[in-house]
Structure 1
């Protein structure tokens, strides 16, 4: 670390007000390599803006010679706004791609000599052509996955010929065989170059090449820009680092700011290694650690520290321990629920309480791991009349795969397939991508999750309305879609954890924290991928200023099997025997109120909830379950599902088996009286089930 004179007090004057000692150390560090390890909520943006202002006002660099780069247009805009507020107008604050585009347009005539190539907005059309020629699938989600692999390869400086070996070394899951991806990649590049087109990755590649291969261009650029600042340096890719190296040349006038604990884009090629190795590359670098958290209460900060401290093999440069600077607030709340609708209902009830207590809706967020989780919260908020905004993704019913699925269901409703309603819906959706087993990951997995959510809506409707058919189901979807388009006003934010990066709210609900979702299923078995999932939870926790809730549910749908386990990341945060609070919320959606009322066979009260309707009694009313019969039913269902190659719940849900074991129907009339057993299932499985009830063994046949 350098031991040289810091910037003069003239630079600090006007820029040091309100800065803590560590922030001031970063602001006053001398010109040259500076690394600011800045934890969440520690005021990094103010620190780097103050550093640029101090350098300019002290005369160490002209404002027009400063280039600050970050990763989003929103962050770049915030940097420009703050610099102007400090009377720094000529300094450039841009994203990597924006800076590269500006430079390439300027140098293109000298480097290439002809008209600039056109920049394409998206690559799916060309990827589709390349995929068709290579014999790969050309459905939209397949093309998105192929495009993502091409982007990863280019971001990590890997060409088509090296792609198969590179993914093998990286143990990277690919949407199709690595050789087929490489063929599509090569075809895409050939089509693009033949048409004289550039994609966004090409902006960086050509900019780096122009500076590396043309000394006059490099000299002119380096004379123009002499001081560089890189925000969110933990997210830099090898391609972006190559551009940065080309900008710098042999100079070292660079300030980098980042937090390795917030590295959540490794799947796209980002790596914290340049940040962690900065002091090795520049032995004289000044390294400053910002650990005072001004965003969150000490209670939220404490939980964040516990989340990240459980990470394995943390590099020394990532061992920041936040220290909360705000007044004390409420403890984070942990809650477990029977199913997702109950979890969503509890969240909405708490949102109402916060709003009534004065928290603006725009200061409340519900965060989840994947976009498909948003539907149940969109529905619950819409039913409660609470406006919401979906950030970083489309509303559930606006998604391309859902629009396609609904169109297919409407067509099928004219001449529906055989089977009960959930089976009919699954049969229709198989044609648009719903497989028996989930895809490994990527956009195909997101599409699969969204389609599965429609099957679960069908199960919910069938459990409550015995004669519900495909037409009724389509009508139900139309009503839900209409209800989930509230006015475009400030409201509760719904966002994935990735989309929430860089944002903050007074109150944050982290929902759906179960194994298979966080960590995501396809990360299991890869220690590095699992640790990235832990960092996602850390990012989510650190978005909250004051109120923080972490919740999970044991089943996806009402009355579904309670097979889920809460996320492994919660162990150590909440003891295994913790009485996870269930908020006393009764869920009576507008959809439920439209269903035919049913009454308890024990106490004759009106039944509320799909499970109660299916059982024919209130959940609290006594009932005798024939446990041996229930075991026989489960074993039979397992054999049947294997023989028919469908998930077990397609045969009968757990709640239906429970109802059969309780009511022990002795004939077809008694069996069909159980909610959820319609004519199709009676015809297909009735004799076998009645045999099981009577204790016979004829149901063993498959």
Structure 2
């Protein structure tokens, strides 16, 4: 265990103030990149080292399994063993399983993974035709209702002003909600919200059980407090039982999950509830350069000024004014592109330049508002020979090579218990080499490269742990760390450019961030109709900006597919740079971020027949002017269209979802003979290659494939 003085060493004045405020209530307002996790883990460790906290009676709560796992790792490294760091749901589920036999009796029901199966049955019973997308929306709406403490009979009134899934009425959704609850009870199942609701009911009705829980946990720390829901807060109050040994950490400017029932009201009203609370503000930003921090500050300050001018706007808490502690970096880059394809190409070009300059691919991210925007960037990065990781895809610990690697490392740990330090790293490399790991990455992209990236992530984690834990680090410790991470889905970093939605990027950071698709209708999103919803979109962009450490590029397009230029840059851009946004003429900086700005888009594509510059997305996709003679065999194109029609019918989807006409023409013109050649065609992303690639190539060439 580190000494108290050692634990405080290296903290700045505000972090030290937070770490030494050991008695609640305490409210830490922590801006992005200000070291909030460092502050609260050192606070817990300092309390344990001073003998003020019993680690077995201390509970740290957060919102993602990844964040909880990171907190546990940091606490272990500080010597604070035994402290529980869990998500609200994990902590509640653990307690519910323990107390169920005493409070309810019998075996606890299974917790359902999702609601769609039961909702399908309910809709069928009500003779309603609902597709899978609508069912997912309904599931989300029921989750909102339950965490907001609205029972089925109260839902219609509570949701009167909400946008309903698929345009349904609140009354219809209320009927589905009630049917879902009845069927769930009949099938003796519970969902994730029930875990919290049932525990709340037990603690409210069973004083003996409530007293046992309050005796077990005396000190509470809640991270990301701006994201708590009314249900989570009721449970927290029951855990506290009227006590105030509570430390909360949050930032109202990072509230981006209101649609799920999260609210920053508990954070902004903390001092009102606890007038004597200690409040600490963390504003020293250790993550981002002054240029990135300035962009983030301007975005929020613009809304503060608007609120001062227009009192009818929703309340806007005074944002934290961040102060960068890093050296000066490059200017923020603004890039206007002709269409989505040109934007993706430009981003891939800049990512390659950064990689060539020494920025690791894993330190580059492309962030977008909706998941549907990813395909163009998948295609462009693949064409540029750059590997990528799509967040939300297959889980890291579910990959076959990762499972095999952990199994082999576990066997190696049993056979080499005397290995420590640097020898552990070499043994890890030797073990994983049988699965395809090499010190140098394989050429190109594709499945072989992805497999190597996964194995490299295991090696990199071993190197990180050896560096942190010193010469006594063992292979057994590595396997234990991997097992814990697998349990909580806390994946190590994988080499490759990250593609992610803005929501899924929360809590992450990279050296270089491309915020793409910053046009009206995407940022803010078109269905953000109210001032409060537009405010949430602003906060979402703020979260995206503050993910960047050094390089930040903001891009938008003039049209969707090379047609008329009908798009406008996001209104938020003018807050960052007064020459941008709204109806103003957009300017774009060069990749070198030179002071003089100039329009920048992807290099012009030319017709393979006449050499003229191609004007539209469709022309660029097929590689020639629409008026120039086709170079494909009509019979081949007819064959491709017949195949597409059959495939679409089989999938019960429109034909263009498989491939557009322009993509089929491009395939017929180029006649690709391999997966790599097919992947170079615009409109053929990695997902479509995996789904249709073999069939298309066999269709074109039979079994005679290069």
* TM-score normalized with structure 1 length: 0.70
Please tell me whether residue 545 in structure 1 is matched to residue 549 in structure 2.
yes
Please tell me whether residue 369 in structure 1 is matched to residue 332 in structure 2.
no
Please tell me whether residue 586 in structure 1 is matched to residue 549 in structure 2.
no
Please tell me whether residue 359 in structure 1 is matched to residue 351 in structure 2.
no
How far apart, in 2, do the equivalents of 1:612 and 1:193 lie?
59
SS in 1 for 2:536: helix
SS in 1 for 2:372: helix
1:578: Cα distance to partner?
5.3
SS in 2 for 1:572: helix
The answer to whether the 8 A contact 1:11-1:53 is kept is no
In the TM superposition, 1:70-469 aligns within 5 A as 70-168=62-160, 170-175=161-166, 176-312=168-304, 313=307, 317-393=317-393
1:359: Cα distance to partner?
0.2
How far apart, in 2, do the equivalents of 1:295 and 1:347 lie?
23
2:41 to 49, 58, 70: 49
Structure-2 change in CA distance of 1:139 and 1:610 (3 Å): closer
Cα deviations by residue, 1:141-170 (Å, 9 ceiling, x for unpaired): 1110110100000010001111111011x4
Equivalent residue, structure 1, for 2:682: none
How far apart, in 1, do the equivalents of 2:102 and 2:604 lie?
67
The answer to whether the 8 A contact 1:230-1:256 is kept is yes
1:598: Cα distance to partner?
2.1
Tell me how many residue pairs correspond in the alignment: 512
Cα deviations by residue, 1:378-399 (Å, 9 ceiling, x for unpaired): 011111111101013579xxxx
In the TM superposition, 1:464-475 aligns within 5 A as none
SS in 2 for 1:246: helix
Equivalent residue, structure 2, for 1:487: 450
The answer to whether the 8 A contact 2:112-2:189 is kept is yes
1:615: Cα distance to partner?
6.5
2:573 to 570, 574, 577: 570
The answer to whether the 8 A contact 1:601-1:616 is kept is no
Equivalent residue, structure 2, for 1:21: 13
The answer to whether the 8 A contact 1:26-1:51 is kept is yes
How far apart, in 2, do the equivalents of 1:317 and 1:236 lie?
17
How far apart, in 2, do the equivalents of 1:258 and 1:123 lie?
30
Structure-2 change in CA distance of 1:601 and 1:55 (3 Å): closer
Structure-2 change in CA distance of 1:487 and 1:309 (3 Å): same
1:356: Cα distance to partner?
0.5
SS in 1 for 2:27: strand
SS in 2 for 1:609: helix
1:57: Cα distance to partner?
1.6
In the TM superposition, 1:476-555 aligns within 5 A as 487-488=450-451, 489=453, 490-524=495-529, 526-555=530-559
SS in 2 for 1:56: helix
The answer to whether the 8 A contact 2:4-2:49 is kept is no
The answer to whether the 8 A contact 2:338-2:601 is kept is no
Bigger Cα Rg: 1
Structure-2 change in CA distance of 1:11 and 1:156 (3 Å): farther
1:484: Cα distance to partner?
9.4
How far apart, in 2, do the equivalents of 1:545 and 1:68 lie?
27
SS in 1 for 2:504: coil
Cα deviations by residue, 1:474-510 (Å, 9 ceiling, x for unpaired): xxxxxxxx97996342200000000100000000000
Cα deviations by residue, 1:235-281 (Å, 9 ceiling, x for unpaired): 00001001101101110100000000000000000000000000111
Flag structure 1 segments of 5+ consecutive residues without an equivalent. 1-9, 396-481, 618-651, 654-702
How far apart, in 1, do the equivalents of 2:3 and 2:573 lie?
46
1:609: Cα distance to partner?
3.1
1:211: Cα distance to partner?
0.9
Equivalent residue, structure 2, for 1:556: 560
Structure-2 change in CA distance of 1:100 and 1:602 (3 Å): closer
How far apart, in 2, do the equivalents of 1:339 and 1:518 lie?
16
1:207: Cα distance to partner?
1.1
Cα deviations by residue, 1:184-220 (Å, 9 ceiling, x for unpaired): 1111111111111111001111111111110000011
1:135: Cα distance to partner?
3.2
Structure-2 change in CA distance of 1:142 and 1:18 (3 Å): same
Cα deviations by residue, 1:342-368 (Å, 9 ceiling, x for unpaired): 111111111111000000000000000
1:174: Cα distance to partner?
3.8
Structure-2 change in CA distance of 1:265 and 1:601 (3 Å): closer
1:587: Cα distance to partner?
6.1
Equivalent residue, structure 1, for 2:25: 33
Flag structure 2 segments of 5+ consecutive residues without an equivalent. 308-313, 396-444, 454-494, 590-598, 629-660, 663-706
1:616: Cα distance to partner?
5.0
Structure-2 change in CA distance of 1:298 and 1:222 (3 Å): same
The answer to whether the 8 A contact 2:156-2:170 is kept is yes
Structure-2 change in CA distance of 1:543 and 1:602 (3 Å): closer
1:130: Cα distance to partner?
1.2
Please tell me whether residue 597 in structure 1 is matched to residue 608 in structure 2.
yes
Structure-2 change in CA distance of 1:200 and 1:584 (3 Å): closer
CA RMSD of aligned residues (A): 2.5
How far apart, in 2, do the equivalents of 1:556 and 1:68 lie?
46
Cα deviations by residue, 1:56-81 (Å, 9 ceiling, x for unpaired): 12222211000011000000000100
1:310: Cα distance to partner?
1.8
Equivalent residue, structure 1, for 2:421: none
Cα deviations by residue, 1:82-115 (Å, 9 ceiling, x for unpaired): 1111111111000000000000011111110111
How far apart, in 1, do the equivalents of 2:297 and 2:56 lie?
40
